[in-house]
Amino acid sequence: MDARVEGKVALVTGASRGIGKAIAAGFLAAGARGVVITSRKGGNIETAALDLGSPDRVVPVVAKADTEEGAALAVEVAVERLGGCDILVNNAGTNPAYGPLVDVDLGALKRTWDVNLLGPLLCTRAAWDRWMKDHGGVVCNNASVGGRLPGRGMGTYNISKAGLIYMTRHLAYELAPGVRVVGVAPGVVRTRLSQILWQNEDKAASLHPLGRIGEPVDIASAVVFLCSDQASWVTGATLDVDGGIANATSYV
State the catalytic residues. 157
Query: CB–CB of 25/1 below 8 Å?
Result: no
Nearest to 59 by CA among 39, 34, 79: 34
Alpha helix segments (H runs only) across 128-243? 133-135, 155-175, 195-198, 201-206, 216-227
Contacts of 79 (CB under 8 A, 6+ apart): 85, 130, 131
Report the C-alpha gap between 209 and 140 in whole angstroms. Answer: 26
Report the C-alpha gap between 251 and 7 in whole angstroms. Answer: 39
Report the C-alpha gap between 137 and 131 in whole angstroms. Answer: 8
Query: CB–CB of 178/159 below 8 Å?
Result: no
Neighbours of 169 (CB within 10 A): 15
Nearest to 88 by CA among 42, 24, 39, 173: 24
Nearest to 14 by CA among 105, 146, 157, 140: 140
